[in-house]
């Protein structure tokens, strides 16, 4: 049996007296976690984010939200946790990014921009509703199209049909694996398997295809813990 301890950094332990928990607070408690027999520490999202949805709206996969610390703090946490046989699990969102992400900002500059196809667009609204209520489509005047957001308006859904987008995500995941991260909790992963041409938000065959590719490109043959949030059986 292995023990996973989930941490919501925002309220865990504040080490700089700004009223917000931080990565250094997690580092400070590593001896305590070791005493508890913890094998994995699961951190809810710590990436750069406008925090419209508690960090599940990532604006930069390669940087840490300054309210929690820095990338160097994460590296220190990984290193010091490893000395105690504790691995770090990152909470990662692959279905969407924040509309503050550079990819989305570029996508809105024009349909010929290479990042435009990183997201899901429609020339008209369909009857798809957001999980956060209301229409899942939001109009962008600069491209005269609507982008899909299954959650908040500030969370634009990624287009997994785009091979270059998938490659960007695999590159990022492998970056953190090489950094020493021990696992990932993958948020709303079932939603990457969309087949909107057939009005299907949860296509099992499409999802299985992407999951197999994700495993082959990032996890296969590595000692990496993975768990996904899924609302449907495979």
> Are 76 and 66 spatial neighbours (Cβ–Cβ below 8 Å)?
no
Q: How many CB atoms lie within 10 A of CB 65?
A: 23
Q: Please say if 141 is a catalytic residue.
A: no
Cα 34 to chain centroid distance, Å, stands at: 27
Q: Tell me which of 22, 187, 190, 203 is the catalytic residue.
A: 187
Taking CA atoms, 31 is separated from 44, 69, 84, 182, 198, in Å, by 20, 20, 8, 18, 52
Question: Exposed, middle or buried, 90 (CB in 10 Å: 0-12/13-18/19+)?
Answer: buried
The answer to whether residue 195 is catalytic is: no
> Which one from 52, 60, 195, 229 is the annotated catalytic residue?
229
Burial of 124 (0-12, 13-18, 19+ CB in 10 A): exposed
> Computed from CA positions of residues 114, 118, 119, 123, in that sequence, does the dihedral angle turn out positive or negative?
positive
Q: Catalytic residue numbers?
A: 187, 229
């Amino acid at each position: 049996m292995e023990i996973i301890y989930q941490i919501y950094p925002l309220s865990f332990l504040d080490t700089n007296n700004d009223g917000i928990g931080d990565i250094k607070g997690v580092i400070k408690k590593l001896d305590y976690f070791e005493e508890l027999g913890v094998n994995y520490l699961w951190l809810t999202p710590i990436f750069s984010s406008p925090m419209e949805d508690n960090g599940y709206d990532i604006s930069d996969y390669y940087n840490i939200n300054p309210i929690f610390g820095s990338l160097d703090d994460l590296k220190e946490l990984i290193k010091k946790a490893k000395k105690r046989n504790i691995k770090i699990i990152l909470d990662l969102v692959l279905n969407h990014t924040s509309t503050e992400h550079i990819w989305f900002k570029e996508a809105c500059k024009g349909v010929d921009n290479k990042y435009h196809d990183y997201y899901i667009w429609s020339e008209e609204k369909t009857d798809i509703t957001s999980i956060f209520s209301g229409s899942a489509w939001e109009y962008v005047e600069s491209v005269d199209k609507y982008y899909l957001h299954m959650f908040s308006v500030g969370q634009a859904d990624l287009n997994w049909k785009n091979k270059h987008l998938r490659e960007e995500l695999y590159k990022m995941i492998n970056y953190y694996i090489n950094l020493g991260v021990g696992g990932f909790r993958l948020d709303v992963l079932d939603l990457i398997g969309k087949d909107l041409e057939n009005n299907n938000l949860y296509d099992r065959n499409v999802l299985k295809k992407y999951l197999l590719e994700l495993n082959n490109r990032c996890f296969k043959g590595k000692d990496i813990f993975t768990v996904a949030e899924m609302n449907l059986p495979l």
